[in-house]
Chain A
Amino acid sequence: MDLSINFEKVDYIYQPNTPFAHQALNQVSFSLPDESYTAIIGHTGSGKSTLVQHLNGLLKPTHGRLMVQEQMITPQTTNKELSDLRRQVGVVFQFPEAQLFEETVLRDIAFAPKNFGIDEEKAAQLAKEAAEAVRLPDSVLDKSPFELSGGQMRRVAIAGILVMKPKVLVLDEPTAGLDPKGHQEIMELFARLKSQQHLTVILVSHQMDDVAEYADQVLVMEQGKLLTQQTPQQLFSQVEWLNKHHLGLPHATKFAFEIEKKSTFKFSPLPLTVSQLANQLANFLPKGVSQDE
């Protein structure tokens, strides 16, 4: 299995040698295979955004090194050396506004392809397709990206990254601000792109339901340190450990625990999603078509 990403003892210190010096990453080491889907979870301030900003070299390690798509990044790496990598790694930031700057929505989304040398007309075409993929209404394409609702801005920021067709897709709480339908559609879109275009996906999320549904492994951060790297199934089975670290459970798992508490029913394995929950219960419940249909 080829490695897409490898961190070796990465430290990151904000504002070093000042009274505000803050070590946001502390000896972080892990590796992720090509075409994996990894969720990063952890409390506010645990270092998730700092970690993912290393993946396209926006931040460079204070100590240690990392490899992304065969590009080594060390404290000495220059931005010039990273221009190739930045085409391959698309990062959707936690605050979408930070990413918007053009005069119109369409031009904002077309920025990356134009920047990569694609002609204006073709870039606009690609931008339109990306806008459609994230379900932006046509009516907003010629508006300023700053005159949109929060969820619409989020969609523009996502489209602006997808249009790059990156090999590694880094998503920092990409669905914050999206309505429930948009949330589901966009998460499905990422999953679809991953399997069609063979992407490696890294998702920072506080939504354990998404972690359970989409990720094949989870990194847990706490105060700058990587606590553990596990599959969702392993992680969410350790209820006491999760409680101790004040981490949440998927809704379906909580629901399953309630059933176990109030009956003799035992789930195996522990369900993480609604469909897994229903699959295990269905044979023990009365069948038939309800009266109301």
Chain B
Amino acid sequence: MEKIAEIKNLNFKYSQQDSWLFHDFNLAINRYEWLAIIGHNGSGKSTLARLIDGLLVPQAGEIWIDQQKMSSENVWQLRKKIGMVFQNPENQFVGANVADDVAFGLENQAVPYEKMHQRVAAALKRVNMWEFSEQEPANLSGGQKQRVAIAGVIALKPKIVILDEATSMLDPAGRYDVISLIKELKEQEGLTVISITHDIDEASLADRVVVLDDGKILDAASPANVFSQGQTLTNLGLDVPFSEKVKLALKQQDVLTPSEYYTEQRMVDWICQSILKK
């Protein structure tokens, strides 16, 4: 499969750190893939995102974006292929009002005025924030800030979208809308999505889940595969699927539960059938 991003033998630590956060780290991301990254607080997820986006420079190793090796000469060029929604949207705002803010990235790419205006309006409408276009970003609610940050990225029409806990402050309906929107754009425009999240439902939508632990990849497989390893996930401080939580609670009541991993749907079916039989 064709790679859109590749990290090879990378070493990285912050100047304040005594030991490597990433040591001899490798990860390849396929074009059009939806990759979820999960891991405990401080495991290196946001750092990895900033390395891929060229905001941090590794001490050793290579980062390839869309067939080009990142260097100090081309980093600005390559960054245009990537749209990143930061963990704290407040770190992202530069414009005096919401519309300017979304336009800022496009100005950088020298998109003509007329087209820019259209794209800004379209992006803000997609996230239901058009009516706030004149508002100062600082004066928005938490969830509104996250929506504007997402609009800023979709207006850019990047090849790679990195979402660093980008929906953490959205209400359940709003979160669903935003995820559906990203999915739709992925299909329509051929995006590659890297989603960093603590939300197991969001991670379950991915083609592949990477489990990061202190800068090391512990697992990289399909969601079904990763999330069926209940005990390992719990030991890492991560969430298990709801079906596993139900199973555990039933087991504690001495119910004879299936030993293999069941999806939520299958668990419902199993319970319904078992009730009938008894």
Q: Report the Cα distance A177→B170, complex, angstroms.
A: 12
Within 8 A of A (CB), among B133-177: 134-135, 139-144, 147, 165, 168-175
Binding-face segment, A117-125, A230-238, A277-285: A277-285
**A290-B257 contact, Cβ under 8 Å, with A149-B41, A255-B242:** yes
In contact, A95 and B88 (Cβ under 8 angstroms): yes
In contact, A277 and B246 (Cβ under 8 angstroms): yes
Which of chain A's residues have a CB closer than 8 A to the CB of B171? 41-44, 206, 246-248
Name A49's contact: one of B45, B87, B142, B147 (CB within 8 Å): B142
Q: Report the Cα distance A182→B169, complex, angstroms.
A: 17
Whether B107 is near chain A, meaning CB under 8 Å from some CB there, is: no
Q: Report the Cα distance A140→B42, complex, angstroms.
A: 11
**A150-B272 contact, Cβ under 8 Å, with A49-B141, A274-B246, A287-B255:** no
Q: Report the Cα distance A290→B275, complex, angstroms.
A: 17
Whether B95 is near chain A, meaning CB under 8 Å from some CB there, is: no
Name A44's contact: one of B170, B265, B268 (CB within 8 Å): B170
Name B90's contact: one of A97, A173, A176, A246 (CB within 8 Å): A97
Instruction: Return B254 CB to nearest CB of chain A, in Å.
Output: 5
Whether A94 is near chain B, meaning CB under 8 Å from some CB there, is: yes
Which of chain B's residues have a CB closer than 8 A to the CB of A20? 134-135, 139
Within 8 A of B (CB), among A110-161: 137, 143, 147-152, 155
Q: Which residue of the partner chain A has the closest CB to B247?
A: A278
Whether A14 is near chain B, meaning CB under 8 Å from some CB there, is: yes
Tally A-B pairs: CB < 8 A.
Answer: 170
In contact, A97 and B88 (Cβ under 8 angstroms): yes
In contact, B237 and A181 (Cβ under 8 angstroms): yes
Whether B269 is near chain A, meaning CB under 8 Å from some CB there, is: yes
Instruction: Return B216 CB to nearest CB of chain A, in Å.
Output: 16
Q: Which residue of the partner chain A has the closest CB to B243?
A: A255
Interface residues on A, range: 35 or more
In contact, B174 and A44 (Cβ under 8 angstroms): yes
Which of chain B's residues have a CB closer than 8 A to the CB of A182? 40-41, 237
Q: Report the Cα distance A219→B170, complex, angstroms.
A: 18
Whether B77 is near chain A, meaning CB under 8 Å from some CB there, is: no
Name B173's contact: one of A14, A43, A98 (CB within 8 Å): A43
In contact, B278 and A284 (Cβ under 8 angstroms): yes
In contact, A279 and B253 (Cβ under 8 angstroms): yes
Which of chain B's residues have a CB closer than 8 A to the CB of A274? 242, 245-246, 249
Binding-face segment, A1-9, A68-76, A163-171, A257-265: A257-265
In contact, B264 and A255 (Cβ under 8 angstroms): yes
Which of chain B's residues have a CB closer than 8 A to the CB of A45? 140-141, 143-144
In contact, B16 and A95 (Cβ under 8 angstroms): no
Q: Report the Cα distance A274→B244, complex, angstroms.
A: 11
Whether A291 is near chain B, meaning CB under 8 Å from some CB there, is: yes
Which of chain B's residues have a CB closer than 8 A to the CB of A246? 171, 173
Q: Report the Cα distance A181→B277, complex, angstroms.
A: 37
Q: Which residue of the partner chain A has the closest CB to B169?
A: A176
Which of chain B's residues have a CB closer than 8 A to the CB of A208? 172
**A282-B255 contact, Cβ under 8 Å, with A248-B172, A259-B272:** yes
Instruction: Return B211 CB to nearest CB of chain A, in Å.
Output: 12
In contact, B250 and A149 (Cβ under 8 angstroms): no
Whether A194 is near chain B, meaning CB under 8 Å from some CB there, is: no
Which of chain B's residues have a CB closer than 8 A to the CB of A15? 139
Q: Report the Cα distance A285→B268, complex, angstroms.
A: 12
In contact, A44 and B147 (Cβ under 8 angstroms): yes
Whether A183 is near chain B, meaning CB under 8 Å from some CB there, is: yes
Within 8 A of B (CB), among A30-44: 41-44
Q: Report the Cα distance A181→B233, complex, angstroms.
A: 10
Whether B188 is near chain A, meaning CB under 8 Å from some CB there, is: no
In contact, A44 and B143 (Cβ under 8 angstroms): yes
Whether A179 is near chain B, meaning CB under 8 Å from some CB there, is: yes
Whether A228 is near chain B, meaning CB under 8 Å from some CB there, is: no
Q: Which residue of the partner chain B has the closest CB to A140?
A: B42
Q: Which residue of the partner chain B has the closest CB to A249?
A: B172
Whether A288 is near chain B, meaning CB under 8 Å from some CB there, is: yes
Whether B252 is near chain A, meaning CB under 8 Å from some CB there, is: yes
Which of chain B's residues have a CB closer than 8 A to the CB of A155? 41
Contact surface of A with B, Cβ cutoff 8 Å: 14-15, 20, 41-45, 48-49, 94-95, 97-98, 137, 143, 147-152, 155, 173, 176-183, 206, 208, 246-248, 251, 255, 258-259, 262-263, 265, 274-275, 277-279, 281-282, 284-292
Contact surface of B with A, Cβ cutoff 8 Å: 14, 16, 39-42, 45-46, 87-88, 90-91, 134-135, 139-144, 147, 165, 168-175, 198, 200, 237-239, 242, 245-246, 249-259, 264-265, 268-269, 271-272, 274-278
9 CB < 8 A contacts A-B: A95-B88, A176-B169, A180-B198, A259-B272, A277-B246, A285-B250, A285-B271, A286-B274, A290-B257
Q: A44-B143, A286-B278, A292-B259 are in contact. List 4 more A-B contacts (CB 8 A).
A: A177-B168, A258-B265, A278-B246, A278-B253
Which A-B residue pairs are the 6 nearest by beta carbons? A151-B41, A44-B143, A181-B237, A248-B172, A278-B249, A282-B253
